[in-house]
Amino acid sequence: MEGLAIMTSGGDAAGMNPAVKYSVEYARSLGYKPYLIYDGLRGMIDGNIKEAKPDAVSGIIHRGGTILRSSRSKRFFEYDYRKQAYDNLKKLGITKLIVIGGDGSFRALNDFYHDFKVPFAGIPATIDNDINGTDYCLGVDTALNMIRGNVDSIRDTANSFSRAFVVEVMGRDCGYLAMTTAVTSGAEICLVPELEYDLDRIGNRLRPELENGRNFLIAIVAEGCNMGDYLTRWINDTLNIEARLTILGHIQRGGSPTVRDRLMASKFAVAAVDSLHRGETCNIMVYRSGDFGTLPINRVADSPTPVDPDLIRLCKPLSR
């Protein structure tokens, strides 16, 4: 029986567990012997790999994070450690890999393919939603709902105490979470790396509103802008309203996967197993304009992620 191993890698994201479960079950139904690699690339190097017995993936669909755990590994950049990882797979008869993670993890498995010719299929999973070629990455919907709940709570206290709140959300280089949050929580200000901002214009826009009785403000900033502190001080000092900063941090990565993340996970998992079963070697599963498909890793990893023009249009007025 051919061994097919599943791993999670890079930043954890809700939806990874359902993707693991469906990958295991569908691979088994096609006649593969499924394996689980624990601790991501680190576990592949250290041989932390176990056969996926049927009960290994039961009772996990509702759990956040990843039961396989994840890691970022400096060692995987070195050939000798990748060779060690390959020997671990070979010993167990594993000839195909599914990696659930981000672009960094896909690049890692692409290097691995070029070294040892072990085909892989990538399932996009990162709350940043910044993988080129796919409109959706697992974890995004759960993170957005987690942020929404928190921003709604902040609005309660902002309104009660007549304050401005700057809320910093995740997004290493990308403002997708911030822009979507700003639109869906009715924020007055949104600062993201994709948009030039103009504080003078923001001041001119909001001062009359504050003079006419507006008693609170919500500003959403992406962590990639590094503007949280500065904007909070600026609002406090120039808009004459007491301001506080809330950095949501890693709370955004946790939580039980939403229905959307569970459903998308099941479809990505089936697509990944099918891709490997067809004999494809280095493909990433993508969801574009309502359809599932595959793209070769080079098309995904070598181009910048385009930004949703509708979101830009909606958020531009909030950045000036």
Ligand X SMILES: Nc1ncnc2c1ncn2[C@@H]1O[C@H](COP(=O)(O)OP(=O)(O)O)[C@@H](O)[C@H]1O
Ligand Y SMILES: O=P(O)(O)OC[C@H]1O[C@](O)(COP(=O)(O)O)[C@@H](O)[C@@H]1O
Question: Which residues form the catalytic set?
Answer: 128
CB 103 within 8 Å of CB 14: no
Q: Is residue 61 classed exposed, middle or buried when 0-12, 13-18 and 19+ CB atoms within 10 A define those classes?
A: middle
* Residues forming the site for ligand Y (CB under 6 A): 10-11, 102, 126-128, 170-172, 223, 253
Using N-to-C axis directions, what is the helix angle for 259-277 and 16-29, rounded to 10°? 40
Q: Which residue has the tokens 């070294």?
A: 115
Give the shortest CB-126-to-ligand Y separation in angstroms.
3
- In the list Mg ion, ligand Y, ligand X, none, the entry touching 73 (Cβ below 5 to 8 angstroms by class) is ligand X
CB 120 within 8 Å of CB 112: yes
Within 65-104, the residues that bind Mg ion by CB under 5 A are 102-104
Going from the C-alpha of 27 to that of each of 15, 32, 239, 281, the distances in angstroms are 18, 5, 58, 16
| x-or-dash string of contact with ligand X, 21-60, rule CB under 6 A | --------------------x-------------------
For residue 171, which of 199, 195, 202 has the smallest C-alpha distance?
A: 195
Amino acid 114 reads H
For residue 276, which of 63, 12, 97, 132 has the smallest C-alpha distance?
A: 97
- In the list ligand Y, Mg ion, ligand X, none, the entry touching 25 (Cβ below 5 to 8 angstroms by class) is none
Applying CB under 6 A, does 104 fall inside the site for ligand X? yes
Applying CB under 6 A, does 76 fall inside the site for ligand X? yes
CB 167 within 8 Å of CB 154: yes
Total chain residues near Mg ion (CB under 5 A)? 3
Cβ proximity to ligand Y: between 110 and 126 the closer is 126
Give the shortest CB-193-to-Mg ion separation in angstroms.
15
Give the shortest CB-139-to-ligand Y separation in angstroms.
8
Residue selected from 7, 49, 85, 108 as contacting ligand X according to rule CB under 6 A: 108
CB 196 within 8 Å of CB 319: yes
| x-or-dash string of contact with Mg ion, 98-127, rule CB under 5 A | ----xxx-----------------------
Give the shortest CB-71-to-ligand X separation in angstroms.
7
* Pairing mode, strands 217-222 and 33-37: unpaired
Give the shortest CB-299-to-ligand Y separation in angstroms.
18
Q: Which residues bind ligand X (CB under 6 A)?
A: 9-11, 41, 72-73, 76-77, 101-105, 107-108, 111, 126
